[in-house]
Structure 1
Amino acid sequence: MSAAAAGAARRARTGRAGTAAALLAVASVVALRLWAVEPLVVVSDSMEPTLPEGGLVLLLRSGSPEERAVPGSLVVFADPGDGHSTVKRVVAAGGQTVAIEDSVLVVDGTPVDEPFVDHSRIDGTWFGPVAVPPGHVFVLGDNRSPSVDSRDYGSVPASAVEATVLLPPGP
């Protein structure tokens, strides 16, 4: 084989390998987007300051809904009122009791430290106590005043949790 023919054969192999690598990369991104990671634009102020309105977050769809629906996690589920995707914080799981006493979240009789909540904006707020049924979670918005959440529509079935927030926007 001549040097020119050998060079042409090498370029053809390299071209095919490059094309295959590019196709694999595109397929990987599409697979991640379809099955695991998805972007979402925050469309309300109910999670401020944690998730500002208009901010972009990444959602993780891996694991079972029950694995995703743990207290403290930010989750996405279909709003029981209008069916749109909504983001809230899980504050309690099945079998726990939830109350808000003068703006302070109380779970199973113990006050919960929530540095992300502006308590001065919800001073004088009282709610509950209510028991969270087994297989359900109680969700609240971090911006408690305008948030429509489990105080309005009750506990959410853990099986309804579609995703968790993977990456909130940076500062």
Structure 2
Amino acid sequence: MDTEAQHEMRDPSSDTPTGVEEGSRISRCAGLFSGRGTAGRSWLSLRRTGLFGLLCAVFLLLFSTFVLQPFLIPSGSMEPTLRVGDRLLVNKLAYRFGTVPERGDVIVFDGTGSFVQEPARENPVTGLLHGAAAALGLAEPAETDFVKRVVGVGGDRVVCCDKGGRVEVNGRAVDERYVYAGDAPSRVPFDIVVPEGTLWMMGDHRSNSRDSRDHLGEPGGGMVPVERVIGRADWIGWPMGRWSVLEPTEAFREVPRPGSGAHG
């Protein structure tokens, strides 16, 4: 037998047993999905990053829903206190434990039934995405959400205007220093008593604000139910140059309790 010829005809690749070669391929594939290979590690890292991002987004949405919500100011109705583009930090715990809104508080509320009678219909998916973006302060708030100042609480008689052109609450004239320079306290005369459980709301830029005055003849009379309050605006968080705490006003300090019959 010509052993030399047999050696020349052998395939060098046959030196590696078939089982070993298949095992090596399987091992490489397993490494790809288990993370042992370079591609596997990249995929695993990407997956972990995505999961971490999702968890962060869920946490922020929950925090915004129940504790502190960014709120983008879309109009100038609260100037000079708030400017277009400011991002408020709305304290949602302010009225959760028996505390109620007080005169002078700047609050965010759902105006459905008071400022907006029939909310516009929108695509559910679009609405969900917009709501999530608004909850993070990345988009304008829903058309039913408003930010105004509490001028009257349940039982108050609010009148405009007295002989000096000022708003009166329970017979006491209010020195509203927060009102936009050059604005009258109101060009619309009114004399109302705020029902219990509701609020009389007005913007600081009186000539540029659609507030309770504009809804006097509508169902609800422009009164905002306390249960519709979303939270109190306590801070301006953005832009950096506007960062500040919204300090309580002293304008209503001398206002007597409803029904006391006091006059100023």
**For the structure 1 residues 157 and 145, does the alpha-carbon distance in structure 2 shift closer, same or farther, using more than 3 Å as the test?**
same
Tell me whether 116-125 or 35-44 shows the greater mean CA deviation: 116-125
Alignment of 1:141-156 (within 5 A): 141-153=203-215, 154-156=222-224
Counterpart amino acid of residue 114 in structure 1: E
Give the deviation of 1:115 after TM superposition: 1.0
* CA distance, structure 1, for counterparts of residue 97 and residue 154 of structure 2: 14
**For the structure 1 residues 155 and 128, does the alpha-carbon distance in structure 2 shift closer, same or farther, using more than 3 Å as the test?**
same
Give the deviation of 1:32 after TM superposition: 2.8
* CA distance, structure 2, for counterparts of residue 72 and residue 88 of structure 1: 10
TM-score, L = length of structure 2: 0.50
Alignment of 1:100-139 (within 5 A): 100-101=160-161, 103-118=165-180, 120-122=182-184, 125-139=187-201
Percent same amino acid at aligned positions?
Answer: 29
Asked whether the equivalents of residues 151 and 202 of structure 2 are also in contact (C-alpha less than 8 Å), the reply is yes
Asked whether the equivalents of residues 72 and 90 of structure 1 are also in contact (C-alpha less than 8 Å), the reply is yes
Aligned length: 149
Counterpart amino acid of residue 162 in structure 1: I
Instruction: Give the match for residue 99 of structure 2.
Output: 67
- 1 or 2, which has the higher strand percentage? 1
Give the deviation of 1:121 after TM superposition: 2.2
Counterpart amino acid of residue 67 in structure 2: A
Task: Name which one, 1 or 2, has greater alpha-carbon Rg.
Answer: 2
Instruction: Give the match for residue 86 of structure 1.
Output: 146
Counterpart amino acid of residue 100 in structure 1: C
Instruction: Give the match for residue 17 of structure 1.
Output: none
1:166 partnered with 2:226: no
TM-score, L = length of structure 1: 0.75
Counterpart amino acid of residue 73 in structure 1: D
- What SS does the corresponding residue of 1:32 show, helix, strand or coil? helix
Asked whether the equivalents of residues 160 and 186 of structure 2 are also in contact (C-alpha less than 8 Å), the reply is no
Picking from 12, 15, 39, the partner of 2:70 is: 39
**For the structure 1 residues 45 and 124, does the alpha-carbon distance in structure 2 shift closer, same or farther, using more than 3 Å as the test?**
closer
* CA distance, structure 1, for counterparts of residue 186 and residue 152 of structure 2: 21
Structure 2 unaligned blocks of 5 or more: 1-51, 120-142, 216-221, 237-241, 245-264
Give the deviation of 1:64 after TM superposition: 3.0
**For the structure 1 residues 66 and 148, does the alpha-carbon distance in structure 2 shift closer, same or farther, using more than 3 Å as the test?**
farther
* CA distance, structure 2, for counterparts of residue 38 and residue 124 of structure 1: 31
Higher relative contact order (CA 8 A, sep 6+): 1
Asked whether the equivalents of residues 66 and 159 of structure 1 are also in contact (C-alpha less than 8 Å), the reply is no
Instruction: Give the match for residue 76 of structure 1.
Output: 108
